[in-house]
Structure 1
């Protein structure tokens, strides 16, 4: 058996496909590409596929990751990549394939932080936005409620950078914690900044991972 880590982009055709359905998209994609995916043991065997981290509905992603276990003794990364790229799947752009040791930790446990590119779709006052951002980062705690539980958003915000865009719009580059039980959400950051979280375009651009 071999284990491969696929790096890919999730584009517009799959923007409103949820994580469970995206998992099924990958299953069908690998089947069409004639990849001999390994299956779990038990009464209900499932393809051994593991996504890096859930992506909220409506988000796009770049440099996303998924691990796939394959029933093969030998298969080069180049051949696997060629086979995937020869079988097109709308909304998935394959970037690279890497062989991973079978005993490596699970992909989700390796992720420390997620990186986001957030574009505000409505014109903003850039000077005021800089002020709001400075005030937000200066706060010692930010109490939020998610799923009927309160939590502190502030320690989950690791870094935010503001970039003015043409026509009075702006983009925010966010680095947010993505550890188990401590995951920052960019739309909640926008809400704390006083913006409508639905009036933005979100792209998760990558991860910071354990070495």
Structure 2
């Protein structure tokens, strides 16, 4: 048995496919690719496919991660070619690497995520920079999600603006991705007084913890 970590994009119409449905998309993709999927044990065996963390509907990504277990060893380039040929539009394979079978679950390794937000509205950079500075200087940023109040501020690790495709501005953002403490880019936009529906959001990087630290 082998365990393979796949880095891939999620673009186009797939941005409107939720995490549970993406699990089914990947199962069909691996079947079409003819890969020897390994299955879990129990009364309802499921293919062993683990995605790193959900991508909210409507977001693009150029670096999603998933682990898949295969019963038989195969050359990485053969796996890559087969998966890319079988993958739906919007999925492009960036990289594959073998992972130790007993390494921690991928979901436990994700620490932070990087985003680029393009503001599809004319904005004043000096004014935006001031809003960002004020937000980062705030000791707390109380927000409400699903009827519960939480503090958004400790989930924001870094944020800056820069010129994007003219005439738009972009916000580069790093947020935590931890159990009970996952920052959401649209909440940051709302805290800045900006309309999330007048922006496009792309996940550009998933940053992983040291596997040894995660296993400790």
Q: Please, what TM-score do these two structures have when normalized by structure 2?
A: 0.94
Does the Cα contact within 8 Å between 1:125 and 1:168 map onto a contact in 2? no
* Matches of 1:69 and 1:124, distance apart in 2: 47
Equivalences for 1:70-149 in 2 at 5 Å?
A: 70-72=70-72, 74-149=73-148
Deviation per CA, 1:63-84, whole angstroms, max 9, x where unpaired? Answer: 2100001111x21212211222
Task: Specify the SS of the correspondent of 1:130.
Answer: helix
1:157 CA drift (Å): 0.3
CA displacement at 1:42 relative to structure 2: 1.3
Give the aligned length.
Answer: 210
Decide whether the 8 Å contact of 1:123 with 1:167 is kept in 2.
no
Q: CA deviation at 1:88?
A: 4.1
Q: Give the conservation status (yes or no) of the 8 Å contact 1:40–1:46.
A: yes
Q: State the 4+ residue runs in structure 1 displaced beyond 3 angstroms.
A: none
Q: What is the DSSP-based 3-state SS (H/G/I as helix, E as strand, rest coil) of the residue aligned with 2:94? A: strand
Q: Could you tell me which runs of 5 or more consecutive residues in structure 2 were left unpaired when the two chains were aligned.
A: 211-216
Task: Tell me the TM-score normalised to structure 1 length.
Answer: 0.96
Whole-Å Cα distance in 2 between the matches of residues 113 and 77 of structure 1?
Answer: 27
Give 2:56's aligned residue.
56
Instruction: Work out whether residues 126 and 168 of structure 1, in 8 Å CA contact, stay in contact via their aligned partners in 2.
Output: no
For residue 213 of structure 2, what is the aligned residue in structure 1? Answer: none
Residue 10 of structure 1 is matched in structure 2 by 10
SS of equivalent residue, structure 1 residue 15:
helix
RMSD after superposition:
1.1
